Structure 1
Amino acid sequence: MRDGTETLDKILFTPGPLSTAMSTKEAMLRDLGSRDSAFLEIVRQIRTKLLDIAGVSQSGGFEAILMQGSGTFGVESVISSALPRNGRLLVAINGAYGRRIAHIARVLNISVAELQVAENRPISPADVEAAIRKHPEVDCVAVVHCETTTGLVNPVAEIGQVVSASGKMFVVDAMSSFGVLPLDLEATGVDYLITSANKCFEGVPGFAVIIARTIALQESKGRAQSVCLDIYSQWRGLETSGQFRFTPPTHAILAFERTLAAFEEEGGMAGRRARYEANHQRLLHGMTQLGFQPYLEPSHQSCIITTFMYPSHPRFSFESLYNLLNEKGFVIYPGKLTHSDCFRIGTVGQVFPQDVDNLLVAIAQTLDEMGVDMDDC
């Protein structure tokens, strides 16, 4: 059940930024200095809790670093800092966010090899093993855990075993999966995992989270191609003084402190996943009843976001669907597929099964307003 006083905010059926709890908003109604001891203690506690959620610890050789900016800032921080100078990167790609990693690397003049897989198919360990054999010169392999382009989940645990056996560094973009989809970082051999405050933890935008092996961080010293995104220097600053090197998003961090408490109150990863899964199942059933076709096979689909194909009806227009739903207080997402017309509906954030039911009613009403009879598709 949504907490606090109801507002006139639209409900965001998106993968992030998300609809947030009233208590999260209220947490930002105070000011703290970035060097204030109370703020530094909050940052310390957040870093510790993130490691706990990841199932690792400082004593076990892992660190949690907060990096100002969006989740992509965190990805660029890792790519620009972790690889050795003249290093080479293999990116496994089956969606827009894998392509984004490759684009970041190219802008940084990092040599990139791409493993391209169809957007409706998971990247397999065999795919990665073959790509490493083809490109033995690479220093690092990067993959997206939940490809938000479609909602597809890649088998990162199995891929990690292949990468570890090859002796390569392993980077996982877990932007829209961390906190909901379990992943054993130690067993998987992950060197860097990147996520964001405004995804499954239901915080507000403002900073990325990086879980890293301590030894990988130590090896990154002097490799950074950016001052602001230097992950080693960011880590050392947080460790030595508890402070950010540059102005931190204080209010976003105060909000995140509250969202972590709410995460625990909901039952941690299992509790949050149960709600998101209930949302997803309600959505999938309702949309198929309306006549929409999901893009992915059920075995490949996450509970984070679901992609639906455009119906073939001549009067269907996503722009009209989007605008009419927006007027009714519901926000959905356009698609990002390369070769198919589609749209996406997220089931994360402060969204509950009743909200999904309300969205489904609104979609049915909107189709009627558009003159779209799904039986004619």
Structure 2
Amino acid sequence: MLGKLTHQKAIKRNLLLNPGPATTSQRVKEAMIVEDICPREQEFGDLMHQICDGILEIGNGQATHEVGLFVASGTGAMEATLVSAIGDDDKVLIVTNGAYGLRMESICKSYGLEYDTAFGFGDYPEPAKVRKALQGGKFTHLAIIHHETSTGMMNPLEEIADVCQELGVKLIVDAMSSYGAYPIDLQKTPVDYIFSSSNKCIHGMAGLSFVVFHKDRIEELKKNQRAFYFDLYSQWNNLQQKNQLRFTPPVQICYAFMEAIKETLEEGVKARWQRYQANWQVLYDRFKALGFHFYLPDEYQSKILLAIDLNSKPDLDFNDLHDFLYNNQITIYPGVIPESNTFRVAIIGDLQLEDVRYVMRKVTEYLS
């Protein structure tokens, strides 16, 4: 029996200024309305390969890298990378200048992986200091967050990648809140592992994360199979050999992610990056004009997220501001910086200049 599904629900457009899940386009939302399909079918396996190909095209890594897909949040991709990349005889140096570097440390500690840390919360990892730290510890790997969304800092990926290549150290990059917006070129920037998720700068729905890894790392991944669910080699190899993921994928989320990848490639990563920077600049300029101060110096800002110091407005009640904006279809995010009173606004997602201008009109209305 053939049935026809008529979709008539009106969906209001919320502006999410949290650093993912992001505001999605109508096109991506509608991509989830598809026929039911068993994910073991050839057709769906082909979709998985198309998603992987699209992820590689975004980073210009088709010739050099592979992709492992996981049904998990971004932390799942982080865990899969660390537990699969770091062998029993390896040692990783983790740049812990924010909350997500500290999360890497927690994962390594839980698996008993050998590691050390460098840099404190909010410190900028100067490449020369990274080099010195690597030279002093017999490290085989360096793990770093590219865009540290706890502070809004953009760590110097390209320069640190050059340091690692020079020293023969393998580089692990959390690009959770940069891949798909910041122009990362894997042909020019030597990266061994880089991971992100569907719901950040590619503007899909939450539910999938992915690890992009260099083809030269395949044999090492095969050797380091100590995890079960988060075994990167098995996850990648199963799709190559059987045309399906090892465990049940979120079918509708996958269709939406494929549509989001198409949108990303159509807009172009460089054009998206320009849009992000323009949107960020509106937030920066307007908040500054309203008398707010920022956690980071300007030269370290990511142009993706702002951590705003609430002490610059001692009488401001963040929760009240949040609720006022939420009632106007705007979401802002609390801060996570230790011993600092901050909140965060990000421009990740399908946001246009008129959207962020509307946000600032509402913030101004609240303050007045």
Q: Which residue of 2 aligns with 1:80?
A: 83
* CA–CA separation in structure 2 for the residues paired with 1:313 and 1:282: 20
* CA–CA separation in structure 2 for the residues paired with 1:26 and 1:260: 14
Q: Which residue of 2 aligns with 1:175?
A: 176
Equivalent runs, 1:35-114 vs 2, <5 Å: 35-57=40-62, 60-114=63-117
In the alignment, residue 321 of structure 1 is paired with which amino acid? L
Q: Scaled by the length of structure 2, what TM-score is found?
A: 0.93
Q: Which residue of 1 aligns with 2:197?
A: 196
Q: Which residue of 1 aligns with 2:239?
A: 238
In the alignment, residue 277 of structure 1 is paired with which amino acid? Q
2:25 pairs with 1:21: yes
Q: Which is worse superposed, 11-20 or 41-50?
A: 41-50
Q: Which residue of 2 aligns with 1:33?
A: 38
In the alignment, residue 76 of structure 1 is paired with which amino acid? E
Q: Retained in 2: the 8 A contact 1:141–1:163? A: yes
Shift of 1:25: 1.1
Shift of 1:292: 1.0
Shift of 1:7: 3.0
Equivalent runs, 1:130-169 vs 2, <5 Å: 130-136=132-138, 138-169=139-170
In the alignment, residue 113 of structure 1 is paired with which amino acid? D
Distance 1:78 1:96, change over 3 A: same
2:280 pairs with 1:277: no
Q: Which residue of 2 aligns with 1:374?
A: none
Q: Retained in 1: the 8 A contact 2:291–2:312? A: no
* CA–CA separation in structure 2 for the residues paired with 1:272 and 1:209: 20
2:15 pairs with 1:11: yes
Per-residue CA distance 1:302-323 (angstroms, 9 max, x = gap): 2221111114444212122112
Distance 1:311 1:362, change over 3 A: farther
* CA–CA separation in structure 1 for the residues paired with 2:300 and 2:287: 18
Q: Retained in 1: the 8 A contact 2:311–2:341? A: no
Q: Which structure 2 segments of 5+ residues have no match?
A: 1-8
* CA–CA separation in structure 2 for the residues paired with 1:314 and 1:288: 15
2:133 pairs with 1:128: no
Q: Which residue of 2 aligns with 1:265?
A: 266
* CA–CA separation in structure 2 for the residues paired with 1:46 and 1:157: 26
2:122 pairs with 1:116: no
Shift of 1:118: 4.5
Q: Which residue of 2 aligns with 1:372?
A: none
Task: Classify the secondary structure of the residue corresponding to 1:195.
Answer: strand
Shift of 1:219: 1.1
Per-residue CA distance 1:98-152 (angstroms, 9 max, x = gap): 1111111101111220001450x4211111111112211x221100111111221
In the alignment, residue 229 of structure 2 is paired with which amino acid? C
Q: Retained in 1: the 8 A contact 2:95–2:119? A: yes
Shift of 1:161: 1.4
Per-residue CA distance 1:330-356 (angstroms, 9 max, x = gap): 100111112321110011212111111
Task: Classify the secondary structure of the residue corresponding to 1:159.
Answer: helix
* CA–CA separation in structure 2 for the residues paired with 1:17 and 1:139: 33
Q: Which is worse superposed, 45-54 or 180-189?
A: 180-189
Per-residue CA distance 1:226-251 (angstroms, 9 max, x = gap): 21110000111111122101111211
Q: Which residue of 1 aligns with 2:343?
A: 343
In the alignment, residue 290 of structure 1 is paired with which amino acid? L
Q: Which residue of 1 aligns with 2:301?
A: 301
* CA–CA separation in structure 2 for the residues paired with 1:199 and 1:317: 28
Distance 1:44 1:176, change over 3 A: same
Per-residue CA distance 1:175-197 (angstroms, 9 max, x = gap): 11111112232443211000111
Shift of 1:281: 1.0
Q: Which structure 1 segments of 5+ residues have no match?
A: 369-377
In the alignment, residue 92 of structure 1 is paired with which amino acid? V
Equivalent runs, 1:359-374 vs 2, <5 Å: 359-368=359-368
* CA–CA separation in structure 1 for the residues paired with 2:13 and 2:55: 29
* CA–CA separation in structure 1 for the residues paired with 2:247 and 2:117: 34
* CA–CA separation in structure 1 for the residues paired with 2:300 and 2:10: 35
In the alignment, residue 147 of structure 2 is paired with which amino acid? C
* CA–CA separation in structure 1 for the residues paired with 2:11 and 2:250: 25
* CA–CA separation in structure 2 for the residues paired with 1:122 and 1:135: 20
2:328 pairs with 1:328: yes
Residues paired across the two proteins, number: 360
Q: Retained in 2: the 8 A contact 1:92–1:98? A: yes
* CA–CA separation in structure 1 for the residues paired with 2:87 and 2:313: 52
